[in-house]
Structures are given as C-alpha cells and as structure tokens.
Amino acid sequence: MNGIYVREDEPFEKAIRRFTKTCERAGILSDVKKYRHFEKPSEERKRKLNSSKRKRIREEKRGFYRDR
C-alpha cells in the first residue's frame, strides 16, 4: 500500500499532490480504471491490438526501424 509522510511545515495540497504522484507511479489508478467495468474478451483483444498499432507507429516515427 502506498503512503506518504506529511512533513510538519508542508501544506496539505502539496502532500495530496505527492500522494497522487506515488499512486500514479505505482500504477494503481490504471488498475482501478481497468477493472471498473467488465470488458468482453473480444473488446480486450481489439483494445490491445489498437494500442500495439499506435505503439508501432510511434516507434517508426522515432526512427526505431532503420533502413537496411
């Protein structure tokens, strides 16, 4: 479980920001969003396929695949 220690002279808003950053780094929010509703297996495959296509296009733009 993630947690932070609030420093003595630290404003509450800043502590909340630090806590959300640690949760974001740990991947808690993405897990919550993923399990928020049931996803059919066909929808899951389609989502993963689309994300892999976007990733491949992004890597091609960065020059990941070089001319041979």
pTM over 0.95: no
The pLDDT value given to residue 58: 87
Q: What are the pLDDT digits (tens) for 36-45?
A: 888 899 999 9
Q: Tell me which residue of 35, 12, 16, 11 sits closest to 3, measured CA to CA.
A: 16
Q: What are the pLDDT digits (tens) for 8-19?
A: 999 999 999 999
